[in-house]
Structure 1
Amino acid sequence: MNALQKILIVDDRKENLIALRQVLRCLDVEVVEASSGNAALAATLDHRFALAILDVMMPEMSGFELAEHLRNDENTRLLPIIFITAAYPDELHIFSGYEAGGVDYIVKPYASEILLAKVKIFLELDSQRQELKRSNLVLGRAVEQSPVSVLITDTDGVIQQVNPKLCELTGYSPGELIGQNPRILQSGETSPETYRALWDTLLSGNAWRGMFHNKRKDGSLFWEQAVISPVRNDEGAVIQYVAVKEDISDRIRMEQDLQRAREDAECAGQAKLRFLQIMSHELRTPLNGILGALQILEYDKVYNAELTTSAKQALFSMIDIIDNMLEASRLESSELSFTQAPLQLELLLATLGRMFSVAVQNKGLHLRMSLAEDLPRRILTDAAHLKQIIAHLMSNAIKFTEQGTVEVRMNQESGGTSDRPVLRIDVRDTGIGIDPDKQQLVFALFTQGDDSLTRLHGGIGLGLTLTKRLAELMGGTIGLQSCVGIGTTVTVRLPLVQLP
């Protein structure tokens, strides 16, 4: 329920106050009487008045003087004042009344109907002013408490008002933003075309919608979805711009993550397709060899050592491919177990030398294997997986080397920031080398430097992937250095535990 509007009537004569109250009795208002200027000023401390009706001639303080006091008080400076007098009907006093801040000047005797009509007008204006004030208060609080950022500028783009959410988002205080241009938030990441489109739209009188990649006070970046609209006066002229902006950084990050996931899925799909093509090719090749050898043997019906050897090699190639696939599957599913046991390094190198002696001889390569003098000969490690790591590296080196040397060297080095020693294994070849842009790709699953079906060297691209994962599971690292046409060196570093 709205409180009654209040009218202040001031006169030093009691009969005049009674007469005024009688005129105003038909209005749904509260009338407050004061018999002096000081009493009237005291009443304004306790009441908000919609209108004041003042007598001009009063002892101690005239109506004109009272009006000046009211105009000088922030709470009453907009209070409408009607002067009523019987003593000063001349134009000079009438002018003085208006100059003192009066909105009307009535000379007694007056028609009560005329006074009532004027009072009703000012009461209606007060009602409208209070409604506008309430609307502005609601709007102001909506802006202040808005969960999105609000920024208001003049037509030159100078910031006039900001809300707390904008300050919270950007890290700037209102004092740091007001009077500045919104370019204080620019990061350089939003394209100039965006700003040109923004001003073209606003200058044409329309609202603009778009995104900014802006910068906070601390230098961090954030994304905003913005709607910027022109504000017009009653004549239709643009007087301000209002920007309502929402922080969409989390949404953008989610979209970027989704895009990366989509791209990764596409890459995985391509890798799967490439793997199936390579597998089909690699398995078909030895199968064709075996089938051909069996058909010749069936036709000749005599033992042929060369054909038998060829068929066996093809079978061993297929077994190797299947073993690598099973090993990759176990690595992916974390089914591998690691067992530490004593290992004699000379015996390990001797075993590896025998394993690859035929392959090296068939290609006319030199195989060199050595242990550094300061390297302990007995260590504690997972012998099977260490042997597997070196075997994969030697197999790759021999496969991609047509002439020259394959060298395996093991030595000891310090652990850098750690006091623990490290076993370093270098497998060097003088083979074809790897392009710089593909050196990191070769550690990916089913990837080779050349993964076309017409490549010169077989394999399904699992060797280096298995080696890398085994090394990491054993607490080590792997890296390579390579130069096309000169060769490749792959280095594995593993924790070294010496045994007496």
Structure 2
Amino acid sequence: MPIDVESNLLIVDDLPENLLALEALIRGPGRAVYRATSAEEALALLLDHEFALAILDVQMPGMNGFELAELMRGTERTRHIPIIFVTAAGRDSNYAFQGYESGAVDFLYKPLDPHAVTSKVNVFVDLHCHRKALRHEMDALAVANRKQEELVQQLRHTQRELERAVRMRDDFMSMVSHELRTPLNTLYLETQLRQVHVSKGNLESFAADRLPAMIERDQRQIRNMVRLIDDMLDVTRMRRDALSIQPKPVDLAALARAVVEGLKQQAEAAGSAIALEAPRELPGVWDEFRIEQVLTNLLTNALRYGGGKPVEMVLRDLGGTAHITVRDQGIGIAPEDQERIFEQFERTDDSRKHAPGLGLGLYITRKIVCLHDGRIEVESRPGEGSLFHVELPLQAATKTATQVRT
């Protein structure tokens, strides 16, 4: 693309009438002519402007044109400016040699030939314009190359994200199939076994004293499936920014006691026990259902990976903030995994070996905590258990997932 380039020309002569005459010959569209009556004035102009050409009178009082040219050649800013000397001396070869040695590219001889002056100046102005245009094109090319490289990097990042999304989808479908198949298979086997008993007339298996245990087994498998489905629905809502909270007055201490009581059988099955330390009351304004999810997810994880050792939950009122900690003494979490575990479908290698799961519990937990303007952190080392910290303002703001950035 053509660009408009203005060329600055510097003319230096100690006689003002010579400057006026020379300027009349070289001025034209796209050119700015700067005049200097001494080498000192010329140096000041050279510091402030970029010039396409300098025309220097050789014979000036004080610093002559040759000396000015040598100074220009010794400075990085001005060494590349073409210099034409103007002289009234003859075409003596020694004189010309001294000029070229000082940095001249050409000579003009007095009296000036207007055609020679304009021709030579036009050549150097055209060269300057071409250099400027080439530099502009090179800069534009460099910018285009940088943008192209950025685009390539973005495409590579997008490709990696798409590949990761495909892997996550496949892993998710595999995990869901596996996780739902387990309780479904159990229920299916139970119904087949009952059908066999009924067909053989063996009704003792359905005696009143056996029914509660049978019903409890069924309910446990159904609860497992319902929880898996609820987790998947919550993740879907989060992706659509549709997960919201409905705060209302809640006694967190009473809620925690209810959650611990509800997990008693699960704790017994894990060979563990849950110890709760809480004040008699801890009132606040939260979404009770969602906070129950937080407490349940943290305690369930502690039981699942706690190695059958005691689990402890502590509630504190820190003056405007409710502080919850859940500690287990299980497999622990490596430092490099402690941020990753809060992402969806993310699980550590050790956790996969110890228990099945979709890797959604902590992701959902953090989202809920953030919707309440709270925060969640974990302290852990492999083999030394984990300590989860949750802080919840006593007054939660009503918001949706679109307002949460984690």
User: Normalized against structure 2, the TM-score is what?
Assistant: 0.63
Structure 2 Cα separation of the partners of residues 279 and 335 of structure 1: 22
Structure 2 Cα separation of the partners of residues 443 and 409 of structure 1: 21
Structure 1 Cα separation of the partners of residues 132 and 22 of structure 2: 29
Spell out, residue by residue over 1:269-304, the C-alpha distance to the aligned partner (whole angstroms, 9 max, x if none).
222221111111111111211121111111121445
Following superposition of structure 1 onto structure 2, how do residues 66-465 of structure 1 map, counting pairs within 5 Å?
Answer: 72=59, 77=86, 131=119, 133-144=121-132, 148=136, 248-301=145-198, 302=203, 303=205, 305=210, 309-372=216-279, 377-413=282-318, 421-450=320-349, 455-465=353-363
Shift of 1:379: 2.0
Structure 2 Cα separation of the partners of residues 149 and 398 of structure 1: 66
Richer in strand (by share) = 1
Query: Counterpart of 1:486 in structure 2: which amino acid?
Result: E
Structure 1 Cα separation of the partners of residues 92 and 229 of structure 2: 106
User: Normalized against structure 1, the TM-score is what?
Assistant: 0.52
Task: Give the SS at the match of 2:123.
Answer: helix
CA 1:275–1:79 in structure 2 vs 1: closer, same or farther (change >3 Å)? farther
User: Does the CA-based 8 Å contact 1:471-1:478 persist in structure 2?
Assistant: yes
CA 1:131–1:351 in structure 2 vs 1: closer, same or farther (change >3 Å)? same
Structure 1 Cα separation of the partners of residues 372 and 23 of structure 2: 85
CA 1:43–1:463 in structure 2 vs 1: closer, same or farther (change >3 Å)? closer
Task: Give the SS at the match of 1:148.
Answer: helix
CA 1:101–1:47 in structure 2 vs 1: closer, same or farther (change >3 Å)? farther
Structure 1 Cα separation of the partners of residues 168 and 302 of structure 2: 24
Number of residue equivalences:
302
Gaps of 5+ in 1: 1-40, 50-69, 82-96, 103-124, 151-164, 166-223, 226-244, 415-420
Task: Give the SS at the match of 2:254.
Answer: helix
User: Does the CA-based 8 Å contact 1:71-1:101 persist in structure 2?
Assistant: no
Shift of 1:262: 2.6
User: Does the CA-based 8 Å contact 2:179-2:357 persist in structure 1?
Assistant: yes
Spell out, residue by residue over 1:321-373, the C-alpha distance to the aligned partner (whole angstroms, 9 max, x if none).
00111122122222233222222233212211221011112222121111258
Gaps of 5+ in 2: 1-17, 27-56, 66-83, 97-112, 397-406
Shift of 1:441: 1.4
User: Does the CA-based 8 Å contact 1:372-1:409 persist in structure 2?
Assistant: no
Shift of 1:471: 0.5
Structure 2 Cα separation of the partners of residues 293 and 43 of structure 1: 111
Query: Counterpart of 2:126 in structure 1: which amino acid?
Result: V
User: Does the CA-based 8 Å contact 1:425-1:492 persist in structure 2?
Assistant: yes
Richer in helix (by share) = 2
User: Does the CA-based 8 Å contact 2:366-2:376 persist in structure 1?
Assistant: yes
Query: Counterpart of 2:340 in structure 1: which amino acid?
Result: L
CA 1:78–1:47 in structure 2 vs 1: closer, same or farther (change >3 Å)? farther
User: Does the CA-based 8 Å contact 2:285-2:395 persist in structure 1?
Assistant: yes
Structure 1 Cα separation of the partners of residues 152 and 144 of structure 2: 14
Spell out, residue by residue over 1:348-403, the C-alpha distance to the aligned partner (whole angstroms, 9 max, x if none).
12211221011112222121111258xx6322222222111111111111111232
Shift of 1:481: 1.1
Partner of 1:488: 386
> How much identity, in percent, do the aligned residues show?
22
Shift of 1:449: 1.6
Structure 1 Cα separation of the partners of residues 308 and 354 of structure 2: 15
CA 1:424–1:146 in structure 2 vs 1: closer, same or farther (change >3 Å)? farther
Structure 2 Cα separation of the partners of residues 300 and 310 of structure 1: 17
Task: Give the SS at the match of 1:455.
Answer: helix
CA RMSD of aligned residues (A): 3.9
Task: State the structure with more CA Rg.
Answer: 1
User: Does the CA-based 8 Å contact 2:282-2:317 persist in structure 1?
Assistant: no
Query: Counterpart of 2:219 in structure 1: which amino acid?
Result: K
Task: Give the SS at the match of 1:338.
Answer: coil
Query: Counterpart of 1:348 in structure 2: which amino acid?
Result: L
Partner of 1:474: 372
CA 1:128–1:299 in structure 2 vs 1: closer, same or farther (change >3 Å)? farther
CA 1:496–1:78 in structure 2 vs 1: closer, same or farther (change >3 Å)? same
Spell out, residue by residue over 1:160-202, the C-alpha distance to the aligned partner (whole angstroms, 9 max, x if none).
xxxxx8xxxxxxxxxxxxxxxxxxxxxxxxxxxxxxxxxxxxx
CA 1:130–1:487 in structure 2 vs 1: closer, same or farther (change >3 Å)? same
User: Does the CA-based 8 Å contact 2:285-2:394 persist in structure 1?
Assistant: yes
Shift of 1:132: 5.2
